[in-house]
Amino acid sequence: MPNIKSAKKRVLVSQKKAEINKAFVTSVKTTAKKFDKALEEGNKEKIAAAHKEAVQKIDTAVAKGYVHKNTAARKKSQMAKKVNAAE
């Protein structure tokens, strides 16, 4: 445990940021799961809506620095392949 006041503050700030980052990454995973569920149902409108939402969430994650851009590109590519296969 740090003794210096500024070091104590940094610990608190980093914990808070870690929680926020974890929450956002979890929400990205949740939208991906919703997309997979829509694929299982087979409804094309739901698939399109879920795909659009997931891509937007992934792009936001990249812009805010939560996810690496290549990881995001890979995930979006995999989703696009699934959408094309469902059609």
Q: Give me the domain span that covers residue 82.
A: 5-86
The pTM assigned to this predicted structure is 0.81
Domain count, the chain: 1
For 18-55, the pLDDT digits (tens) are: 999 999 999 999 999 999 999 999 889 999 999 999 99
CATH number at residue 80: 1.20.58.110
DSSP string spanning 34-72?
HHHHHHHHT-HHHHHHHHHHHHHHHHHHHHHTSS-HHHH
Look at residue 2 and give its three-state secondary structure.
Answer: coil
Cα–Cα distance for residue pair 6/12, rounded to 1 Å: 10
Which amino acid makes up residue 63? A
